[in-house]
Chains A and B, each alone.
Chain A
């Protein structure tokens, strides 16, 4: 018994210490240099001011255009393979291949199987009919997954250039992207930046002594960041001169590579581009050509041989998805699917400040009312409940800091509300203890029974509140989610402090002396 009390006391001491560690950076700025935690509680846009943009990604359009492209490629390939007169067109989600010579049917199927593994022929009894091909559902799904991923990546790159402190760009649901720009009041420029067509440039990697270092790039050399080897960021030294831009590129496709070569991306240039690229590649064999999208190096393949004739190939150590991305970048040089701005919210800085002030004020007044009430009504028991309430808030806000959850105005309201509801457990227990005392039980027995009997009601009522919190979380976005998160964390901290925490105090009281009265 005494040992259990000791352990439980220690648990709360440790938790409280941890909460303090997590919270210091929020209230002491700057936090002491050696302090183990540096992340203050993140404030939502409604509290710090800024712009929230919600974009819808038109994924189905992206799938349509992928199928369109496959149809074009297929038609070209069939033409190159000299399989008579053929047309391939997209009709809805299928590609209809019309053959002049039905005998070539099998040849076409073989070619599709070899070169277009993601296209599957639709079963048909009629050998005389046109051939219908559909996109493999797994590939359609991959496009769905990829499109948002890629749009996110591009938007992130662009926002990075915008120079906002701690921007948030993340997917929401299956086809939406949220962009949050703290401190930005006039979102016009940000919106233009996000919506614009990407700039695709080809530049040579700088070599030799003139290149300099990333800290001191040589003359005519600039530092451009890009994808590193292990998924990290890496600084590339590239020549400032843009050799060619993406508008000369007409197409790019993934070619499933051989075992030795890995994946390859084929690209086609228009006449002018073909000529230009021929000159560039002839003059720079052995050097690396950086493919720069929106000032971000996507890839920097080595030029192995002069590329004339307007067609080239990029090989590298990338997997299929990466190759697909690269092809996408080359082909579109732009967002993989049209974006539509569906929501725009701007909060001025004065409102954010005002909201924090009012939120804190309601918190102080609300909790003071509850604390005083508990003290007056339950005296000793109220004091213990109030101490638990203090720990509760400490843990709750500490959890926000520790998990990096975002505190919004409804979140603050949730904390205030948690205080009002947390004492419910204490009231249930104390009322029960009172009842048991009235029945003539000793304080010790009354406390024991009080906790035991009250527990069922406390558990059931908190489970239902938890349900509503979870549903709220599922339903809501942004600030509403913040409220739900507060409510959910609050249930756990309330149970921890209000039920288990206060019990430790009573156990201590009971074990220390012979209790003849208990103040409840």
Chain B
């Protein structure tokens, strides 16, 4: 049973890391601010979500699990908002898109 749980963790965190890697590649390779932001926020949302999902079966106690989920939700909130703010600033000041 515990091996199944461990494998679930490996697979989920591995998938999360893949999204972080893809997001980083997107940040480096995409042509303009908006597409780069798109790549970054996807990495934050999905990548961190999968890492948290993988860690959930490993924590001791419900409270620690809830803390992990709360961290993910806070990153979702701040990532989406920071993305909006940067995009807005880029549209106002940068070259026309």
A and B co-occur in one complex = no
